[in-house]
Amino acid sequence: MVLEITKYGNPVLRQKGAKIETVNAEIKKLIADMFETMEANHGVGLAAQQIGKALQLTVIDVRGAQKDRPSTLELDGKPADIEEIMPLVLINPEVTPVGEKVKGSEGCLSFPEIFGEISRPESVDVKALNEKGKPISFRCGGLLARAVQHETDHLNGLLFIDRMDKKTKAELQDELDELQAQTKLELKKKS
Ligand code: ZN
C-alpha cells in the first residue's frame, strides 16, 4: 500500500525513532508499504518518520542511480556488488563516518522540489538489523553512503536542511517557510 509522505512542518519528522525490538508482522507490513511508497515517489530512501512513524527503520534502494551516481560496497573488507544488499532495510542502524567530507546534491521526499548541496563523509561503516532481524554490517561509499547518512539522520529527527551551509539554506528559506506553513495548515484541517 502506498502511504502518504509526511512533509516538512509535520512534528513527527523531528522525533527520534524508537528502537525496534522484534521484526513482527506489523513491522514486515510497514517495510513492504515503505518500499511501495518509495518506489511510487521515485525515491532512493525512505525513513519511518516520513510515513508518520517515529521508529528506527529505513528502506533504501540506489540501484536505479548506479549509472549517474554510483555507489560502492565492501563486505568483510572486500569489494562487493551493491546487488548483494539491495533493496536494503536498516533497523536500529549505527553509522560510523569514514574518510573526508564530500559535497553532493540532495533532495528529500518530505521537501518536494527542494534540493541543496550537502557535505557528508564520503564513506560510512554501517551496523544494523535487516528485515529478518539478523545483524548485518558493511562499508559503503558514493550515493549509498549519502543515502544511509540522510536516512539515519531522519531516524534521529534530523533533516537535510540542518546539514546545509548557511548560504544554501538562506537561498531556500522562503520555499522552506512556505512548505512548513502549508503542512501546518493541512494538519490543522485534518485535526
Ligand atoms: Zn529525506
Q: What is the 3-state secondary structure of 13-67? A: HHCCCECCCCCCHHHHHHHHHHHHHHHHCCCCEEEHHHHCCCECEEEECCHHHCC
In order of start, what are the domains of the chain with their CATH numbers? 11-100+121-158 (3.90.45.10)
pLDDT over 90 at 15, yes or no: yes
Distance 115 CA to ligand 1 centre (A): 11
* Mean pLDDT of the 49-66 span: 97
Tell me what pLDDT residue 37 has.
98
Tell me what pLDDT residue 65 has.
92
Please, what is the end-to-end C-alpha distance for the chain in angstroms? 23
Q: Which three cell numbers stand for residue 88?
A: 536494503
Please name the residues in contact with 190: beta carbons below 8 A apart, sequence gap of 6 or more. Answer: none
Tell me what pLDDT residue 191 has.
85
Tell me what pLDDT residue 99 has.
86
Give the active site residues: 151
Tell me what pLDDT residue 174 has.
98
Tell me what pLDDT residue 87 has.
98
Distance 143 CA to ligand 1 centre (A): 14
Distance 65 CA to ligand 1 centre (A): 16
* Mean pLDDT of the 65-85 span: 96
* Mean pLDDT of the 57-63 span: 98
> CB of 20 within 8 A of CB of 93?
no
Q: What percentage of the chain has pLDDT greater than the value 70?
A: 100
Task: List the 88-108 sheet strands across, edge first.
Answer: 45-47, 57-60, 88-108, 111-129, 135-141, 71-75, 78-80
Distance 135 CA to ligand 1 centre (A): 24
pTM above 0.75, yes or no: yes
